[in-house]
Structure 1
Amino acid sequence: MEMEQIAGKMRERLSGSGFTGSVKFDCGDAGVVLIDGESVSTQNAAADCTVSLAKDDLEAIVAGELDPTAAFMQGKVRADGDLSLAMRLNALL
């Protein structure tokens, strides 16, 4: 799955959610997905919270095959910044 496809799935789920704040999913060389409120893009920019993880793990989270909290506890995901945003987003994805 391409980063734009992942962003598209996130865009669908966030539409009308009222989510505020910005979270960047940084998959290194594979690219980024930036959520800013209900807007989702693959542009790299500063965010209130940056979540670093492998692209495969991001795909699994979006597909519902990997629980974001479990991934964090297993060390597959690192988060820097406002962790409360990542936790709120977890409920929407």
Structure 2
Amino acid sequence: MSDFLEKAAAELNTKLAASDFDGTAKFDIAGEGAIMMDSEGARVADEEAEVTLSADAETFQAIFEGDMNPTSAFMSGKLSVDGDMGMAMKLAAVLA
């Protein structure tokens, strides 16, 4: 398990604590692994989810650190979304 995934999950838990996110989402990070998010929080895991967001580690790091807007990443093709777009939009609000 990579330090990158552990750090990202910890950052996501901080953001989730201040939100009302009630779905399931997975971040699939190329070359690193996956992070699951649900009402229980974020954890390093690879499970079924309502929406899966896929990108490289550099893009995810920029999103987590607030240097890149998730919507901009999607529109520029750096982030792909598979599944429930409504859930992806809720998740974008949590990450903002």
TM-score by length of 2: 0.90
Match of 1:74 among 73, 76, 82: 76
Deviates more, 1:46-55 or 1:13-22: 13-22
Deviating 4+ runs (over 4 angstroms): none
Which SS does the other structure have where 1:13 is aligned?
Answer: helix
AA of the residue aligned to 2:11: K
Which SS does the other structure have where 1:27 is aligned?
Answer: strand
Partner of 1:46: 48
Partner of 1:33: 35
Partner of 2:57: 55
**Counterpart Cα distance in 2 of 1:28 and 1:57:** 10
Stretches of structure 1 lacking an aligned partner (at least 5 in a row): none
- How far off its partner does 1:61 sit? 0.3
Aligned length: 93
- How far off its partner does 1:10 sit? 0.6
Stretches of structure 2 lacking an aligned partner (at least 5 in a row): none
Give yes or no for contact 1:19–1:38 (8 Å, CA) kept in 2. Answer: no
RMSD (Å) for aligned C-alpha atoms: 1.2
Give yes or no for contact 1:6–1:62 (8 Å, CA) kept in 2. Answer: yes
